[in-house]
Every structure is written in structure tokens, then in C-alpha cells.
Amino acid sequence: MVSFADVRRWKPEGLDAVHNELGRRRDDLINLQDELDGAKNPDGWSGKAADNAAEQHAKLVRSMRSLVAEVATVRVAVAAAADDVAKIKQQIQQADHEAQANGFEITEEGGVKDVKPPQDVPQDQLAQVRQQRIQVRDKLVQTIEHILDEAERTDAELAKVLVAAERDRIEPGKGGSLADAANTNDIQALVTAAGKPKDDSPRAAAQWWKSLSDEQRAALRENPPAWLGNRDGIPAEVRDEANRGRIDDERESLREEKAKLEQGGIAEDEREKLQQVDDKLKSLDEVEKTIAREKPPRQLLVLDSSGERMKAAVAVGNVDTADHVSVFTPGYTTTVQGSLGDYDSKMQELVKESTVELNRHGKNESVAAVAWLGYEAPQKSENLDVLGDSVVSSHSAQEGGAKLNDFYKGINESRDHDPHLTAIGHSYGSTTTGYALQQGGHDVDDAIIFGSPGVGTNDIGDLGVPDGHAYRLEAKDDPVADFARFGGDPSHMDGFKDLSTEKSGEGAGVTGHSDYLDPDTTSQHNMASVVAGMPENAVAGKTDGVGDVLSYVPHQAQEGGSAVYDFGEKTVAGVKDFGEKTISGVKDVFS
């Protein structure tokens, strides 16, 4: 019999820790598959000793399969219990609040005590007040009884599974491997009963997940379908578990594809495909290396090997619980294998600086930041035509923007309470961010662009960001920020607030195209202030590039059919200096 005092002491985080540890133990067991296979009798060995060895090996296999099935089943039960306990604890808190608000106290044993009866009640209202307090007390008693009933059920269901595991009553899943054994009939039945979202929208995914029973959610986390980790609208913690579990399968699939391509020699038209496969394998290595960083913990929110290049997104911090969440989208030449680790480090620094800002102003709030490489950014080529339709084509940005828009939506849809959400885009990534914001419905609270060649529109209203919450940074000697290729130069769009990139009391200045996120700089401080929801602490300021200078034309006259421009002190020498940052210079910095 579970007492109310027992339930008060229950800790769902303890069950979460057990759930995580069981996951590690299950993975350790499944990873013994190669050793188990290697322990089989060698070919050609026969006789009594061989028969005994084979019998012992078969016995070991059965034991291992049973153990894997038991760990998997207990893990599902623990996850379901953790969810139930969290709900029960929330109900207790609500009951305590209700009791205190009405002058009652719920005792350690679950009784209801009248500790603050109303004073000086008029005689003609005594009966009414007494009746109202009886009703409040009776409702609290019913609530406590319901809580105890739920606690008894939760305790009994977990105990049932634990006893079944202890007595070897859990049947392994069909199939010969240890991984197959983890997919027991009971788990598979729960997964099958859960079905799928009605469509691909983040809202449908979120509604579907929230509609499932605790047991169904736990079973899906134990045996996730391949699509679960990349589905916007599913909680970040669930996506992370599902995507981490797919890494080995993705690697094995890519290795098989590589072996097929290499079989019998490589034709000229297959070399590019082989290079793509090799790059994806390197990307998986980089993903594993990145998510192994644990301070703070990482979440793998996208792992997509379709298309020409690997796509990935890694969060620093917990996207499910953070008060402030930012999503950073990088640009030209970005790849998972070459860029993810560096951008993850920059997001860690951004989280750190944002947290410092919060603490400095007495706010105990949490921050998470996502490096979103969820689209195929344009890459360098030998015949790069920056002013043509190669790198500066908007196709990748538009396609990536649609995915990014869903990612924004998914963060908000998956949570009970929306976080303060900031969209951040650099270079061509700011263009992708612009297209994502233009699709609407994203509930982005703030947007930051830096080193931007344009956001796909000349009207800031198209971005759907609250007035006064779009910010722009341009560093000295950053020609890309004056490129004005996608909807015009954001420097001249009404509505953007300019934040400084120059030296200040908050940090060093930055120059060029690639240093905006460097630690201990004014630009990083400014972005951290916005991410933390305190833009008033940012340093305002605008740095004009030569492209901006050229647009400042005080007056124009016509002489001999030629236009004459008066730049004042900004003379033709400035134009010459800008001319030296030619197409080749843009190639080098457009990253």
C-alpha cells in the first residue's frame, strides 16, 4: 500500500536517471553481437567437444537475448513510470496550492487540516461560509484519493514488469540478433498501436505525440521508427535519442553503398557519388564527436543522409526546457563534416555569454542554442560565378527556408509553453533565415542577421517578426554584407535595428566576414543580449561598408549626359578600395 508520505518523496528525475542508465546497458549488450557471433564454432570442427561448445554457445545466445529483452522492457516501464510520477507530483503541487489558498493544509499523511478558518464572519453568513469550506475540503480529499489511486496503479505496473523480468517471463522479440530481441512483442504492439501523425506538419506531430499513452511514448522511445528523430514537433529529448540510435545503422548503410560502388572498379560517373558517400561517413564521425560533448549536454535534432550531403542540427542545452532558445543557420560552404564542430563551439560560447548576461541582471533562466545545418548550403566550385546563378542562386535558401520554418514551428509546438525564440542567420544562412521567416506561423520573437547579402525581401514586415525585434550587424571590411543579392541590402531596410561590431566596453571589435561570433567581442555580446531577451543591454551602432557609402548620394547633376555624384569626403578613393575586394575576394569570405 502506497502512502501519501511515500508519494510526496517520489522523484521522477531518479527514474529518468535509471531510464538513461538502462539505455546504456542495453546498447552495451547489443554491441556484443560481433563477439557473440565470433564465438561460434569454427567451420569444420566436429565431434563431442564441438557439440558441447555449440550447445553452450546456443545457451549463451538465449541468455543474452533474454537479458536484452528484459532490459528493454524494464526501460519502457521505467519511462512510463517516470512520466506518471511527474504528473502525480504536479497534481500534488496543485493540490497544495489550492489548499493554502483556502486556508487548509494537506498533512504528510494525506489528511486535510483547516489551519486558517476565516475570522469575523457575520452571523448571517456563517452557515454559507461553513458549507463552502466543507465543499473545498471534500474536493481536496477527493483529489488526494485520486492521487493515491494513480500512485498505486503506477507502482503496481512497474512492480509487475520488474517481477516478470526477475522471473525470466519476458519473451524476446523475433529475429536472431540481440537488437531484434529488444523489440519484444509487447513493445512492438505498443508502437503499432501508436500509429503515425496524420500529416507531416509540426502541429500534427506534436498533437499525435501528446495524444499517446505514457506506455506508447515509452515504447516508441525504446524502438523508434526511422522517421521519428527528424520529425519537427516531437520533443527534442525524444528526437535526440532516436537520432543517436540511428547513427550506427546510417553508417552501416553508407558502408554497404560504398562497397557496391567500389565493386569491380569505379566508373567515371560514379566517382562523384563515391565522394558523397565518403563525405557522409566523415559527417557521421563529426556528428558523433560533437554530441559526445557533455558540458552542457548536446541534443541531436536532425540527422538526414538523403540528398547529396548530410544534414544535421545539434543543440547545446535542453531545447525542451530552456527559457531562451536560439537557432543559428550558417551559409555558403557549410558542411556537416567541415563545419558542425566549429559552429557547435560557437553556440556553446553564445549560451555561456547569454547565461552570464542573465545572471548579471539577477535572472535565473536557462538558454539553449541550436546549430542548424539542416539544408544543403551552396559549395565552392572551380567555375564559381558569384554574380551569376551558382552560389548566389536563392534555390538552396528557399528550399532550406521551408525546412527551417518547420523547425521553428516544431520547437514551439512540442512544448507546453513557448520559449523566447531567436532566429539567427549568417551570410547565405541569413538569406535562408529570411525565407524561413517569410513563410509565417513560426512565433519567432527576435531575429538577428549578420554579414547578410539579403533576406529575400525589401519589406521587413514580410518576416513576421514583432516590430522592433529584428537586428542587423555588419563588420568593417565585410563585402558580403553589401552584396545586396537577395532582396537588396538589409542596411537600407526600414525596421532593422543596427547593433555595433566595433570595440566597446563590452568587447573587442571584429572585421571581415567570419568573426562575428568570436568570444569577448561586442558583436557576440550583442547577440547574447538579444538571445537572453535583454536587447536593451546591447550596444547600438552601425558600421558602413563601401557598398553603403555608394548608396549615399547627396545630389546628382547631369553634365554632358553623364551622372556626377558628390560624395563629400567619401571620394572615388573609397570606390577604388572597394573595387579591390573583387569577385575573388567575395569567394574567399563568402562563408
Q: Quick one: three-class SS letters along 297-364?
A: CEEEEEEECCCCCCEEEEEECCCCCCCEEEEEECCCCCCHHHHHHHHHHHHHHHHHHHHHHHHHCCCC
- pLDDT range class, residue 586, cuts 50, 70, 90: very low
d(Cα 298, Cα 314) in Å, to the nearest integer? Answer: 6
Mean pLDDT, all residues of the chain: 88
Which residues are 450's β-sheet partners? Answer: 426, 473
Interstrand relation of 104-106 and 112-114 (parallel, antiparallel or unpaired): antiparallel
d(Cα 531, Cα 538) in Å, to the nearest integer? Answer: 11
* Structure confidence at residue 574 (pLDDT): 40
**Residue 570 clears pLDDT 80, i.e. is over it:** no
Range from 355-364, 417-426, 471-480 carrying the lowest mean pLDDT: 471-480
* Structure confidence at residue 555 (pLDDT): 35
Contact residues for 480 (Cβ-Cβ < 8 A; gap 6+): 427, 451, 452, 453, 513, 586, 589, 590
Mean per-residue pLDDT, 447-473:
94
Among candidate residues 433, 444, 431, 446, the one with its CA nearest the CA of residue 489? 431
Could you read off the pLDDT of 532-564 as tens digits, one per residue? Answer: 999 999 999 988 764 554 444 433 333 333 333
Task: List phi, psi (to 5°) of 189.
Answer: -65, -40
Mean per-residue pLDDT, 566-590:
40
How is residue 294 written as a grid cell? Answer: 557533455
Mean per-residue pLDDT, 364-386:
82
* Structure confidence at residue 576 (pLDDT): 39
* Structure confidence at residue 270 (pLDDT): 82
With a pLDDT cut of 70, the percent of the chain lying above it is 88
DSSP H helices in 223-314: 236-262, 268-291
- pLDDT range class, residue 483, cuts 50, 70, 90: low
Residue type, 500: S
* Structure confidence at residue 381 (pLDDT): 64
**Residue 510 clears pLDDT 60, i.e. is over it:** yes
* Structure confidence at residue 102 (pLDDT): 94
Could you read off the pLDDT of 420-436 as tens digits, one per residue? Answer: 999 999 999 999 999 99
Residue written as grid cell 498533512: 107
Distances (CA, A) of 527 to 307, 322, 340, 358, 523: 32, 17, 20, 13, 6
* Structure confidence at residue 571 (pLDDT): 31
What single DSSP character describes residue 421? E
Which residues are 448's β-sheet partners? Answer: 424, 471
Among candidate residues 482, 444, 491, the one with its CA nearest the CA of residue 463? 444
**Residue 393 clears pLDDT 70, i.e. is over it:** no
Could you read off the pLDDT of 66-85 as tens digits, one per residue? Answer: 999 999 999 999 999 999 99
Residue type, 349: E
d(Cα 557, Cα 565) in Å, to the nearest integer? Answer: 7
Beta strands in 415-495 (DSSP E): 420-426, 446-450, 470-473
**Residue 573 clears pLDDT 50, i.e. is over it:** no
* Structure confidence at residue 362 (pLDDT): 95
Residue written as grid cell 523547425: 407
With a pLDDT cut of 90, the percent of the chain lying above it is 78
Mean per-residue pLDDT, 87-101:
95
* Structure confidence at residue 380 (pLDDT): 81
Residue type, 171: E
What single DSSP character describes residue 134? H
- Pick 377 or 382 by higher pLDDT: 377
Mean per-residue pLDDT, 40-56:
93
Neighbours of 217 (CB within 10 A): 21
Mean per-residue pLDDT, 5-24:
92
* Structure confidence at residue 392 (pLDDT): 52
Q: Is the peptide bond before 296 cis (omega within 30 degrees of 0)?
A: yes
**Residue 579 clears pLDDT 60, i.e. is over it:** no
Which residues are 371's β-sheet partners? Answer: 314, 328
**Residue 386 clears pLDDT 70, i.e. is over it:** no
- Pick 385 or 374 by higher pLDDT: 374
How is residue 69 written as a grid cell? Answer: 529483452
* Structure confidence at residue 57 (pLDDT): 94
Residue written as grid cell 547569454: 354
Mean per-residue pLDDT, 43-48:
92
Among candidate residues 303, 288, 365, 300, the one with its CA nearest the CA of residue 531? 365
* Structure confidence at residue 490 (pLDDT): 79
How is residue 144 written as a grid cell? Answer: 488526494
Domain positions in the chain: 4-202+213-218, 228-545, 556-589
Q: How far is CA 207 from the centre of its chain?
A: 18
- pLDDT range class, residue 400, cuts 50, 70, 90: very high
Q: Between 3.40.640.10, 3.90.1150.10, 3.40.50.1820, 3.40.50.1450, what CATH number should domain 228-545 receive?
A: 3.40.50.1820
* Structure confidence at residue 493 (pLDDT): 86
How is residue 462 written as a grid cell? Answer: 514580410
Could you read off the pLDDT of 146-155 as tens digits, one per residue? Answer: 999 999 999 9
Q: How far is CA 447 from the centre of its chain?
A: 17
d(Cα 96, Cα 6) in Å, to the nearest integer? Answer: 16
How is residue 507 written as a grid cell? Answer: 568587447
Beta strands in 417-509 (DSSP E): 420-426, 446-450, 470-473, 497-498
**Residue 445 clears pLDDT 50, i.e. is over it:** yes
**Residue 518 clears pLDDT 60, i.e. is over it:** yes
* Structure confidence at residue 561 (pLDDT): 36
d(Cα 436, Cα 463) in Å, to the nearest integer? Answer: 8
- Of the CA atoms within 13 Å of residue 366, those in its CB half-sphere come to 11
* Contact call for residues 205 and 234 (beta carbons, < 8 A): yes
d(Cα 315, Cα 327) in Å, to the nearest integer? Answer: 9
Mean per-residue pLDDT, 109-121:
92
How is residue 274 written as a grid cell? Answer: 563515391
Which residues are 165's β-sheet partners? Answer: none
* Structure confidence at residue 552 (pLDDT): 40
* Structure confidence at residue 563 (pLDDT): 33
* Structure confidence at residue 268 (pLDDT): 76
Range from 20-29, 94-103, 293-302, 501-510 carrying the lowest mean pLDDT: 20-29
- pLDDT range class, residue 566, cuts 50, 70, 90: very low
Among candidate residues 468, 412, 458, 406, the one with its CA nearest the CA of residue 437? 406
Could you read off the pLDDT of 171-224 as tens digits, one per residue? Answer: 999 988 999 999 999 999 999 999 999 999 999 999 999 999 999 999 999 999
Mean per-residue pLDDT, 264-273:
79
Contact residues for 537 (Cβ-Cβ < 8 A; gap 6+): 357, 361, 529
